[in-house]
Amino acid sequence: MSPVRVVSLVPSLTEAVAVSAPGLLVGATDWCSHPADLDVARIGGTKNPDTAAVLRLRPDLVIANEEENRPADLDRLRAGGLDVLVTEVRALPQAFAELDRVLVAGCGLARPRWLDEAERAWADRAPAGGARAVVPVWRRPWMVLGRDTFAGDVLARLGVRHAYEDHAERYPRVPLEELRGCGAELVVLPDEPYRFTETDGPESFPDLPAALVSGRHLTWYGPSLVTAPRVLAAALATALR
């Protein structure tokens, strides 16, 4: 039987399910901000969900992600008898495959039209060399994109190589002075997970043009992938003018 009650522990997957089948979700995290009118039970954060609250919702399926959610929390949900589907997304093709697995195999839905539109939107984008960028995702301490990240693959398909793509860690902590001297031609500042703004971030890189980009378009895998190529490319082009 296809699930009729779903709890999502991942904001991008929450949006993917809510847009595809609005009545399916019964619970989501406090960070699940899309769709804006989402009206479901809130069960805490991605890193600290209230597992007892999830169990009380009695979902048929819980959807999670190996990077965003802690194994101990998922083990508690499984121990409580829940079916937990865990995604792994490190590159754009994997995102499309995992979205299909969640929505079609996991939730029993017909493949949504927006997923086909997203694949078409990215069809002519392939990893290529271009501007070298440093891409912070946090400050205090400074953390940047490292190896094997979804956001790094997205940027590569838009012609931007990030400076720490070969680092041993996926999200290394790097001192600001090292970031300033890494040879980057651009700094890319998303508005999540840390909310970089015009007055919080660019001043730390006074010698580099700054591209302030939508974190939802850079890091989420869901309906935002339909417009992400256009939105991100415009922000990058503006910074590099």
Average pLDDT, the chain: 95
pTM check: above 0.85: yes
134-144 pLDDT, tens per residue? 999 999 999 99
**CATH class of the 131-240 domain in this structure:** alpha beta
pLDDT in tens, 192-228: 999 999 999 999 999 999 999 999 999 999 999 999 9
- CB burial of 182-212 (b: ≥16 within 10 Å; e: otherwise) equals eebebbbbbbbebebeeeebbebbeebbbbb
Note the pLDDT tens digit of each residue in 116-129.
999 999 997 765 55
What is the tens place of the pLDDT at every residue in 104-115?
999 999 999 999
May I ask the CATH class of domain 6-111?
A: alpha beta
What is the tens place of the pLDDT at every residue in 70-99? 999 999 999 999 999 999 999 999 999 999
Q: For 37-139, where are the alpha helices, taking DSSP H only?
A: 51-57, 71-79, 92-100, 113-121
Distance (Å) of CA 147 to CA 23, 166, 190, 218: 37, 5, 18, 16
Q: What does the alpha-carbon distance between residue 176 and residue 219 come to, in Å, rounded to a whole number?
A: 23
Q: Confidence class of residue 1 from pLDDT cuts 50, 70 and 90?
A: low
Angstrom distance (rounded) from CA 19 to CA 109: 12
- pLDDT tens-place string over residues 147-187: 999 999 999 999 999 999 999 999 999 999 999 999 999 99
Q: Enumerate the CATH 3.40.50.1980 domain ranges in the chain, comma separated.
A: 6-111, 131-240
Average pLDDT for 14-28:
96
22 — pLDDT class (breaks 50, 70, 90): confident
Residue 139 and residue 173: Cα distance in Å, rounded?
9
| Predicted confidence (pLDDT) at residue 37 exceeds the cutoff of 60 | yes
